[in-house]
Amino acid sequence: MQYTNITCYWETTDHHHHISSYRLQINKTSCESKHRFIPVGFCNTRGSDCSVQPIDSALHCFCADVLATTRTGSIRSPPYFFSGVKAVKLRPPQITNLRPSERRSGCLQVIWRMVESFPKNEKVYILLQMEYTTHNQTRSQTIQAFSEETLELCDLHPGSKYMVRLRAQDSRAHAHWSSWTSVDITTAEKAPSAAPQLWRLIQPAEEAGRRSLTLLWKPVSWPEVNGVVLSYSATCRSDLDSSQWTCDTIDASRRSCILTVSDDPCHCSLTATNSAGTSPPVHISIPAHTHAELPPPQAISVTPLDDTRLTVEWTAALNQSERGFVVQWTSVPYSEPTSLHWEHINETARSFVVTGLLPEVPYNLSVVSLYGRQAGSDMSVIAFTREGAPSVGPNMTALKTSSSGVVLKWDPVPLEKLHGFIQNYTILYSINGKDKSVKVDAHVERISLSGLTEGIYNICVMAHTAVGGAAGPCQMVLVGLEDVQVIPILLCALLLCFLILIIPVCMRARIKRCLCPTVPDPSKSSLSVWSNAKPCQHKLPSLSTMNSIISMGQTTIYQDYGEKDYVPVQVFTYHTVPQDSNETETKTYNSTSAVTHQDSKLTPAQAFPTHFLNQSYTKPDQVTPAGYKEDPQPSSDDLLFESLFTYNSNQADLCGYIYVSESYAPVITTVDSYRTLDLNECPHFLQVLPEDTST
């Protein structure tokens, strides 16, 4: 009950299920006689509570009753009498500020105020209760609200977040506190007061003088952390020289550091840093590569508790003074150093409960004894919280077959796929619908089956755990032929068939060329541009039909020697050299200014000038050596006939055509004289042919 209203709650009995509405009536009454009633107010609802407001004061006695309306009529509850001051529920106070206490160092003073105002004689009944909670740790205190006593938060942890709550109560109403009002606050940080927990993994040396060292750590626990760690710093120093290896400014989210150190003894340290400072360092010693290992615990055992927990127990080594132990565990197969879980245990402990595990997953658990700053060798064991059936079976291989037996070998199933410890193997083999099996122990991985009849057997191997088994892939094995198996024979046969089919496909182009050779198309032959006459039947045309031959730059030009007979001539620069002084004088021809033309009035000797290279030529009645004048650099505009002809009587017989290079002696006949024409005298020039790229 608050000072501004009266709220009542009620419950409906099971046999009144058809109530449609409720009416709450509040009356003032005498606290002694309880017969006189003064109406205060009423309210209607369909629920199980209702409030009547406003009221003038709680310093009265009240009577409350509820009228329920049903389908058949009305039902009134018995009257409920109560004193107002014993049912008062105050409004929650307000926290206005948190400030350092003036009286006590390291404490915070809570500044607050009440929402209602109270008469002076009522203030003595008002109480305040304060709670402050951090990391599931709660402290509380209760004081008089209007006394000189103040609310203070003391014994606070640095760098910790607190939730401060405050509520009020009228001491005359013991059953009713006000609602909580709360505020969050974080205390100032200090440097961490404790060092992180440090551990290491030493890998075998990969090369002379070097090895990989993995440092693992756990963060500083609360409340020693005194704030939020921002970074870590790890350093290793050699015990024999000044060598040093460092992981500086490691992010706070990381929990490992990998260093490559020498195989000499060294010691490593680790610190944690927050905004207020750095923690004290933690140290660990790394023995030399050749250092003798310290003894491990005498024995270790594991007991599963449930699907996620198991207990590790160990016995300490004899005549040793351990400073503590480290329990390590990781799932199998081991993947990387960061997957390793570990925990420091004090020297008096002989057991530890590992949590957060999974069923049917193998775990490698080990215990290491600590001797000062050095650690001994570990003792490990494989364990499951709960075993399961294998997910795969062994892969089998037939090593040898004979006329009445076979030798089999199989690979063990990886432990992570077994989901339990292997109990035994079963070899299953069948022929002609008859199934047989042989069971062997868990350590057996090879067996010889004998006394078999000839035939093809279907053989497979099955692995069993305590929960179930799984069979590996089966193989068809032929028994009755020495050292021969069915599968290799089938594979060879398939390979042979494949080769028989694929070879013709790959050689189809060559086979096609052999069976169906390609017939050349005469119309596309390059000879079509030379002549369409029969061999040895080319005749020189008459002098009246013979036209000009010209070379412009590098382009070859030819002229018809008849209407259908064409004689191509390759043209180059040249000089003509007469035989002697009686011959026609030496002339130089320019391809851009003149052409050589055969005139009917000239002698045949003058019609075909040529460039002799220490060669000879043939006249009609004799062979005369050709005199010449050497021209070391003929002009590019001169003409040179590289093809020569043998002249017979008045017409040339092309059967005597001779291809002559500059190193061969040409054979020519005596021809008539020639004369030189200007370009404007020859309007009927030949067409220009494409450039001949064959020379």
Residues 60 and 14 in one domain: yes
Q: What is the pLDDT of residue 519?
A: 67
Q: What is the pLDDT of residue 481?
A: 58
Q: Return phi, psi of residue 165, to 5°.
A: -125, 150
Asked if 389 contacts 469 with a C-beta cutoff of 8 angstroms, the reply is yes
What's the average model confidence in pLDDT over 193-215?
Answer: 88
Residues 277 and 333 in one domain: no
- Which amino acid, residue 487? I
Residue 594 has pLDDT above 70, yes or no: no
Q: Which residue has the higher pLDDT, 149 or 115?
A: 115
Q: What is the CATH number of the domain that holds 238?
A: 2.60.40.10
Q: Is residue 291, in this structure, part of any structural domain at all?
A: no
* DSSP-derived 3-state class of residue 681: helix
Q: Per-residue pLDDT tens for 67-76?
A: 998 888 888 9
Q: Which residue has the higher pLDDT, 107 or 180?
A: 180
Asked if 509 contacts 484 with a C-beta cutoff of 8 angstroms, the reply is no
Residues 251 and 368 in one domain: no
Total domains in the chain come to: 6
Q: Is residue 503, in this structure, part of any structural domain at all?
A: no
Single out the residue in 286, 320, 350 at which a domain terminates: 286
639 to 574, 646, 659: CA distances (angstroms): 4, 19, 17
What are the tokens at 682? Answer: 């020859």
- Which amino acid, residue 50? C
| 457: containing domain | 395-487
308 to 197, 304, 345, 417: CA distances (angstroms): 25, 8, 20, 19
Place of tokens 């014994």: 155
Q: Is residue 505, in this structure, part of any structural domain at all?
A: no
Highest mean pLDDT, choosing among 50-54, 61-65, 507-511: 61-65
Residues 695 and 589 in one domain: yes
Q: What is the pLDDT of residue 85?
A: 85
CA angle 438, 444, 447 (to 5 degrees): 55
Q: Mention every residue, 6+ apart, whose C-beta is less than 8 A from residue 164.
A: 95, 98, 110, 130, 131, 132, 153, 182, 183, 184, 185
Q: Per-residue pLDDT tens for 139-173?
A: 998 888 888 777 888 888 999 999 999 999 999 88
Residue 678 has pLDDT above 60, yes or no: no
Percentage of residues in the chain having pLDDT higher than 90: 41
Asked if 457 contacts 406 with a C-beta cutoff of 8 angstroms, the reply is yes
Give the pTM.
0.59
Residue 309 has pLDDT above 70, yes or no: yes
Per-residue 3-state assignment (H helix, E strand, C coil) for 217-235: EECCCCCCCCCCCCEEEEE
163 membership: H or E segment, kind and range: strand 161-170
Q: Per-residue pLDDT tens for 410-432?
A: 999 998 899 999 999 999 999 98
Single out the residue in 487, 517, 544 at which a domain terminates: 487
Output the average pLDDT for the chain. 77
488 membership: H or E segment, kind and range: helix 486-506
Residues 683 and 596 in one domain: yes
Residues 144 and 272 in one domain: no
d(C-alpha 617, C-alpha 609), whole Å: 12
Residues 678 and 559 in one domain: yes
Judged on CB neighbours under 10 Å (0-12, 13-18, 19+), 283 is exposed
d(C-alpha 642, C-alpha 657), whole Å: 11
Residues 684 and 547 in one domain: yes
- Which amino acid, residue 58? A
Residues 318 and 463 in one domain: no
Residues 147 and 102 in one domain: yes
d(C-alpha 346, C-alpha 370), whole Å: 10
CA angle 32, 34, 40 (to 5 degrees): 120
Cβ-based neighbour number of residue 687 at 10 Å: 8
What's the average model confidence in pLDDT over 365-369?
Answer: 95
Residues 306 and 241 in one domain: no
Cβ-based neighbour number of residue 320 at 10 Å: 13
Local confidence band at 277 (pLDDT 50, 70, 90 cut-offs): very high
Q: What is the pLDDT of residue 480?
A: 79
Single out the residue in 351, 383, 415 at which a domain terminates: 383
Q: Per-residue pLDDT tens for 117-138?
A: 888 888 889 999 999 999 889 9
Q: Mean pLDDT lowest for which of 137-146, 496-505, 524-533, 590-599?
A: 590-599
Q: Is residue 390, in this structure, part of any structural domain at all?
A: no
Residues 219 and 276 in one domain: yes
Closest CA to 248 of 270, 229, 267: 270
Asked if 168 contacts 79 with a C-beta cutoff of 8 angstroms, the reply is no
What's the average model confidence in pLDDT over 486-490?
Answer: 69
Residue 666 has pLDDT above 60, yes or no: no
Per-residue 3-state assignment (H helix, E strand, C coil) for 289-343: CCCCCCCCCCEEEEEECCCCCEEEEEECCCCCCCCEEEEEEEECCCCCHHHCEEE
Q: What is the pLDDT of residue 289?
A: 85
